[in-house]
Amino acid sequence: MRFALVLFAAIGSVMLPVATSYTVGNGPSTSTGPAFSRRNMLRTTLLGGAAFGAQLSRPSVAAAAAETKVRAADAELIQSTSDGYRAALADKEKFVADLASETPSATSPLPPQIPAATFQKIAKMAHDVEKMEADDFPFVAVEYAEHAGAARDFAKCARLGRIGENGSAEVALDYAQRCVLEMEEASVVLDTLRQALDL
């Protein structure tokens, strides 16, 4: 719609200054400006429309800056989450004991899970690394999500492992240990994704 209005305005701007040579009765031709030329008008209109269309298709500086900002935020989330896994797994015994204790920490010791949309937006920045080709980035991201999700499920089970008729310290400990195993897998996969992004 916007292009059509500009095109119409361009045609008008060409037609207004174009004077017509006309003859009144049998008298001499009276000229009020350059001769009317349909070919010149069409050429000018097409050139103007093409220039305007190219301008519309060119991304604005603001849009490019916004996209760069989003990519930086996504990269920061991946990097901080990877660091969170490393910190949590630095002392596995302490992590398991806290998760399986009668009074576990009020806050979850697990890093937040990275949304799939984050990997989708940043996938085009990935490159080949030793353990993964760039084209496999989305599939490896799914693998990370599976392990990260399983770790969170086991963490919840560990917190509830002492509750109920079948609950016990052993049940809570078993779930806590399974949680750590899934966290280790998630951490390894996330490190690969991080390397592919040079983070």
Listed residue (36, 32, 181, 3) closest to 99, CA to CA: 181
Q: Is the pTM of this model over 0.75?
A: no
Task: Give the mean model confidence (pLDDT) for residues 105-117.
Answer: 83
The pair of structure tokens assigned to 8 is 């119409």
- Its sign, for the CA torsion 193, 66, 2, 16, is negative
Give the Cα-Cα-Cα angle 157, 162, 167 (nearest 5 degrees). Answer: 95
- Any idea of the CA torsion for 55, 57, 62, 64, to the nearest 10 degrees? -130
> pLDDT, tens digit, for every residue of 16-73?
444 344 444 444 444 444 444 555 655 555 445 545 455 545 557 766 666 676 688 8
Q: Is the pLDDT of residue 91 over 90?
A: yes
Provide the residue type at 55 as one letter: Q
- Per-residue pLDDT tens for 123-151? 999 999 999 999 999 999 999 999 999 99
pLDDT grade for 102, boundaries at 50, 70 and 90 = confident
